[in-house]
Amino acid sequence: MKCLVTGGAGFIGSHLVDELINQNHEVAIIDNLSTGIKENINPKAKFYKVDILDNKPVAEVFSKEKENPDFVFHLAAQINVRRSVEDPAFDASTNIVGSLNVLENCRKYNVKKIIFASSGGTIYGKAPVIPTPEESPEIPLCPYGVAKLSVEKYINYYHKIYGLNFAILRLANVYGPRQNVKGEAGVVAIFSEKMLAKQNVIINGDGLQTRDFVFVGDVVEAIILAMKSGQTGIFNVGTGLETNVNTIFKKTRELVNSDCEELHGAAIPGEIERSCLGFSKINKSFGWQPHFDLERGLLETTSWFKKEKGL
């Protein structure tokens, strides 16, 4: 199959590209390299340095003369939640308007299916049920979550009106090798980087806030299963397990053999205290379940960061 990955030079996108190529698909990448890294790009993939906001070059990549993809994996996004709070219009321009450019080209060039990386960590807000199922109320508490939910609604519109098949994957807190340390959601990457650089780590608040940490390899498997399935719909991708930030700090410190102290700073106003996703729907639909427990995933991740540091 011909596959197009937006954000294919990024953390999750580059792992997805690698696996698609391993499975002998033809892969093209759209990425403006604002947060993606050129070194992440698989040499067997075609790379287009294009911003999803620039409709003309995006349309050229989609065109029959160039890629004419069967499947589109839409991962390109403005991923910084705090920036979305500081500048909602900027967040909306990339995450909503940019996504509309992608959807319009999916419609125009008869893409078979779009797989969209959404956010289970922000769309549900302060969820009444933990682990949170897909039927939970969607009450995002940040512009980033509002934008992701808006794109989900647009995708449903394109499905109902134009017949565009889709799978929306609401991801938990993804971690693993290649994660960008500049994104505040990447606490494992941030802790690993700072500890290996012998810098102190500041934990926001009391560190008892919980997240559902899912390894990038498991996420990639879910995305590819969504491509292969004929089913449409919204599916959580998480482990169903809560882990607090203090635990991540202690486990990471042990794995990198750091002696840094546990320091706590001010809590982030409005930060959600608990976030954890149920995955029974995707398990029943695709047979997906996480294979990496936290210990194995953290070992893989910290080992990669050590290698990057030459340690």
Q: Would you name the residues annotated as active-site residues? A: 144
Burial (CB count within 10 angstroms: exposed 0-12, middle 13-18, buried 19+), residue 51: middle
| Cβ neighbours around 114 below 10 Å, total | 27
Contact 25, 2 (CB under 8 A): yes
Residue 177 one-letter amino acid = P
Contact 91, 77 (CB under 8 A): no
Contacts of 282 (CB under 8 A, 6+ apart): 169, 222, 225, 235, 236, 237, 288
Q: Return the bridge partners of 202, or none.
A: 263
Reduced 3-state DSSP string for 189-247: HHHHHHHHCCCCEEEECCCCCEECEEEHHHHHHHHHHHHHCCCCEEEEECCCCCEEHHH
Which candidate, 101, 82, 198, 203, places its Cα nearest to that of 144? 82
Which candidate, 180, 117, 182, places its Cα nearest to that of 144? 117
- Total residues belonging to the chain: 311
Encoding tokens for residue 32? 């403006």
Angstrom distance (rounded) from CA 29 to CA 7: 7
Burial (CB count within 10 angstroms: exposed 0-12, middle 13-18, buried 19+), residue 3: buried
Burial 222-250 (b: 16+ CB within 10 A, else e): bbbbbbebeebebbbbbbbbbbbbeebbe
